Amino acid sequence: MDQRLARFLLPKLDRRFGLRLAATALVVFLACRFVLRPTVVSGESMAPTYSAHGFNFCRLLAFRNREPRRGEVVVLRYGGERWMLLKRILAFPGETVEFRNGVLHVDGAPLDEPYVQYPSDWNSPPKTVPEGWIFVMGDNRSMPMETHVGGCIARSRLIGKPLW
């Protein structure tokens, strides 16, 4: 075996290797804590855009210098930092939202949502998004509305967006 390859695969467990390992572990820890948080999608509420058990990273600095846009998929803190929601932002404070026969209306006008692929029959009364809150919903509206976690959520719970 080539000597360099052998050294790569079977490194000498010396002080230098220990330092490298510690530095790598520190960089990975900091990156996962402050920049890219590994996440696993559970549930089908974002199908077909994201399917259950898919792996992704949450970009924690995505909204550091800009506000989120309508239609953008975002990650929200739900049960602390361990349990997060992957949803699409659909309305902002002051806007009124309602579902009419499965079509989301914002301020009375139907919203063009090409990412919603499954048929839906949702209906809901008009609701105004309060100040400091945003309106989010998943792409899969074929499930019963009561079992779908979506609606108004505090803006402060927005932590980032998926990497892909």
Q: List contacts with other proteins (CB under 8 A).
A: 77-83, 85, 136, 149-154, 157
Shortest CB 76 distance to other proteins, Å: 9
| Residue 108 DSSP SS3 | coil
| 114 cis-preceded (ω within 30 degrees of 0) | no
CA distance 3 to 35: 37
- Residue found by looking up tokens 């080539």 in the block: 2
Tell me whether strands 55-59 and 158-162 are parallel, antiparallel or unpaired.
Answer: antiparallel
Cβ proximity to other proteins: between 54 and 151 the closer is 151
The letter for the amino acid at 76 is: L
Shortest CB 127 distance to other proteins, Å: 8
Cβ proximity to other proteins: between 120 and 128 the closer is 128
Shortest CB 21 distance to other proteins, Å: 31
Cβ proximity to other proteins: between 12 and 82 the closer is 82
Cβ proximity to other proteins: between 24 and 156 the closer is 156
CA distance 121 to 47: 17
Shortest CB 97 distance to other proteins, Å: 12
